[in-house]
Amino acid sequence: MIAHSPREVAADGAKFPPSRGRRLRRLLRGALLGLAATAGCSGLKVELSEVTGLVLWNGRPARAEVVFTPAGVSGGRPSMAYTDSQGRFRLQFTDDAHGAIVGPHLVTVSVYTPAEELPDEAANIPQFQPIKVARFHRKVRNDARNEFTFLLTD
């Protein structure tokens, strides 16, 4: 029979069940596996291509987040961008590299409340609830200009 430690109490009075250690070990194991996978892939060269575009919401430039997730590539890193005030975006793969992995992608576009419709004090605070989320399929090519326009409506 395995003896469990008594419930522990955090500084704020919350009680932790006896399985807290098991969950912590799983979390640490997952983090270590993730680091190992990342370290193993750091030498992996992927083919990137520049990707830019425009997001329009009801015909006007949109304040949006654009995420290109490689389709059919296990562990393929997504690229993302936020639009500027004209609705334009340029995908970022890493801190140092722009673009997206060459090949097919599932694209998620999340549109947020337009800045001009926010109160002045909230204009620079990100809104976490999108007013529209749309998904598209696009192919990033290495021998072509990858400029995509996404038109969204109510």
Q: What is the pLDDT along the chain (154 residues), one digit of tens a residue?
A: 444 444 444 444 444 444 444 554 455 455 444 443 443 445 568 899 999 999 999 999 999 999 999 997 777 899 999 999 999 999 999 999 999 999 999 999 999 887 666 666 665 565 557 899 999 999 999 988 999 999 999 8
Q: Is the CB of residue 87 less than 8 Å from the CB of residue 53?
A: no
| pLDDT confidence of residue 119 | 65
| pLDDT confidence of residue 126 | 57
CATH for 48-152 (2.30.30.100, 3.40.50.880, 2.60.40.1120, 2.30.42.10) = 2.60.40.1120
| pLDDT confidence of residue 99 | 96
| pLDDT confidence of residue 73 | 73
CA dist 79 to 76, 93, 139, Å? 10, 5, 13
Cβ count within 10 A of residue 44: 7
Q: Is the CB of residue 92 less than 8 Å from the CB of residue 104?
A: no
Domain borders along the chain are 8-41, 48-152
